[in-house]
């Protein structure tokens, strides 16, 4: 597919150029590329909030046309309802689909436990830490059991330790329902530790530069796996591919500045 956006100057700008990749059902795919290359744009096309200028996106063999059912989205910034409690936030999806309050709350309580927030059911988002809010956002999305889970740098802004804990938790939760995951990140270590496949994008206009299969054994613990020889080798190979794109994007931003 390709995607052109209108620029504020009244022109058009090519953001995606013949971007083409396939995500296997139930697999965890990480997409990595330099800042501004078009990763979020790619996700919004899979989600159905944006349409490609040319080409098509298919989810489960069906052409994406508008916001898909069974598609969950976890954004970079926490998209929780500030006025609802933790339990209310997590119960929001089932309630929206018409589930009785009591049943929705019982199910939400179970997910609150799974993301390690038992005891915080009645707290509001402002009373939580950043990492806790991400957990709420995760539970809020996972309770809907999406078949496809799109994540756009969901752990950005968290410290390294919290990121690692959240990554392990995400993998455990993913094993429970096995949605198809597309996970966008800047962090190559995070991408390798989590994914079955890493897709490297070029500096904009984004096109798929290379794909790497990550056949590290599961279950994985992201902190430990980084020291394994196989991981280090993969990291070197993928960085080889990514490095030029990161530098190209940087040089371009400096020349514009
Ligand atoms: N709605 C829009 N209208 C016009 N241009 C847009 C729009 N959305 C994104 N762009 C442009 O598309 C390009 C890619 O943006 P995108 O958000 O997809 O990048 P990204 O790879 O997710 O970057 P980052 O890693 O920094 O999040 C940018 O140059 C941006 O200015
Ligand atoms: Mg982005």
Cβ(15) – ligand 1 distance below 6 Å: yes
* Tokens describing residue 21: 């990749």
In 10 A of CB 154, how many CB atoms? 26
The token duo for 55 is 């080409």
DSSP codes joined into one string, 58-122? EETTEE--SSPTTEEEE-SS----TTS-HHHHHHHHHHHTT--HHHHHHHHHHHHHHTT-TT-TT
Which pLDDT value is given to residue 196?
97
pLDDT tens track for 71-101: 888 877 777 999 999 999 999 999 999 999 9
Whether the pLDDT of residue 64 is over 80: the answer is yes
User: Average pLDDT over the chain, rounded to whole?
Assistant: 90
Predicted pLDDT at 10: 86
Side-chain-facing half-sphere of 190: CA atoms under 13 Å: 25
pLDDT at 224: 92
pLDDT at 256 over 80: no
pLDDT at 191: 96
In this structure, the residue with its CA closest to atom 31 of ligand 1 is 36
Q: Is 246 in the pocket of ligand 1 (CB under 6 A)?
A: no
pLDDT confidence band for 120 (50 / 70 / 90) = very high
Average pLDDT over residues 34-53: 88
41 close to ligand 1 (CB < 6 Angstrom): yes
Answer whether residue 208 shows pLDDT above 90.
yes
Q: Would you say residue 26 has pLDDT above 80?
A: yes
Q: What is the pLDDT of residue 215?
A: 95
Which pLDDT tens digit goes with each residue over 152-171?
Answer: 998 887 888 888 888 998 99
pLDDT at 28: 96
Most confident of 9-18, 133-142, 236-245: 236-245
- Segment 131-152 shows an average pLDDT of 91
Res. 231 pLDDT band, cuts 50 70 90: very high
Torsion angle of the four alpha carbons 184, 189, 190, 194, in this order, in degrees rounded to the nearest 10: 100
The pLDDT of residue 257: 63
Q: Verify whether ligand 1 is closer than 6 Å to residue 167 (CB atom).
A: no
Residue nearest to atom 5 of ligand 1 (CA): 5
Beta carbon of 36 within 6 Å of any ligand 1 atom = yes
Which of 11, 30, 40 is the best mutation target for the ligand 1 pocket, counting ligand atoms within 8 Å of the beta carbon and taking the most?
A: 40
Residue located nearest, by CA, to atom 3 of ligand 1: 5
Of these ranges, 84-93, 202-211, 244-253, the one predicted with the greatest mean pLDDT is 84-93
Pick the range with the lowest mean pLDDT from 19-23, 181-185, 205-209, 230-234.
19-23
CA of 135 from ligand 1 middle (Å) equals 26
Residues of the chain above pLDDT 70, percent: 99
164 lines ligand 1 (CB under 6 A): no
Q: Is the pLDDT of residue 225 over 80?
A: yes
Ligand 1: residue whose CA is nearest its atom 1: 5
Q: Residue 91 has what pLDDT?
A: 96
Cβ atoms within 10 A of the Cβ of 51, count?
Answer: 15
Protein residue with least CA distance to atom 16, ligand 1:
38
Q: What is the pLDDT of residue 221?
A: 93
Q: Output the pLDDT for position 66.
A: 78
Kindly report the protein residue whose alpha carbon is nearest to atom 9 of ligand 1: 41
Q: Is 3 a pocket residue for ligand 1 (Cβ < 6 Å)? A: no
Q: Work out which ligand 1 atom sits closest to the CA atom of 38.
A: 18
Question: Does ligand 1 come within 6 angstroms of the Cβ of 19?
Answer: no
Distance, in Å, from the CA atom of 182 to the CA atom of 171, rounded to the nearest integer, reads 13
């Amino acid at each position: 597919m390709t995607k052109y956006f209108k620029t504020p100057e009244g022109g058009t700008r090519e953001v995606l150029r013949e971007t083409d990749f396939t995500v296997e059902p139930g697999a965890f795919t990480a997409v990595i590329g330099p800042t501004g290359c078009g990763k979020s744009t790619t996700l919004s096309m899979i989600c159905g909030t944006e349409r490609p200028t040319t080409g098509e996106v298919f989810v489960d063999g069906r052409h994406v046309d508008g916001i898909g059912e069974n598609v969950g989205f976890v954004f970079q910034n926490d998209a929780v309802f500030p006025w609802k409690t933790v339990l209310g936030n997590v119960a929001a999806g089932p309630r929206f689909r018409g589930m009785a309050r009591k049943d929705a709350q019982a199910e939400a309580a179970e997910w609150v436990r799974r993301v390690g927030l038992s005891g915080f059911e009645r707290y509001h988002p402002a009373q939580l830490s950043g990492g806790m809010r991400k957990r709420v956002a995760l539970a809020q999305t996972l309770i809907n059991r999406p078949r496809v889970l799109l994540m756009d740098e969901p752990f950005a802004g968290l410290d390294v330790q919290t990121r690692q804990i959240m990554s392990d938790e995400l993998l455990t939760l993913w094993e429970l329902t096995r949605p198809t995951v597309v996970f966008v990140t800047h962090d190559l270590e995070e991408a390798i530790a989590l994914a079955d496949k890493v897709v490297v994008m070029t500096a904009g206009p984004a096109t798929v530069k290379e794909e790497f299969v990550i056949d590290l054994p599961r279950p994985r613990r992201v902190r430990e796996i980084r020291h394994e020889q196989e991981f280090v080798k993969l990291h070197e190979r993928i960085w080889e591919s990514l490095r030029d794109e990161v530098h190209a994007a940087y040089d371009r931003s400096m020349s514009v500045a």
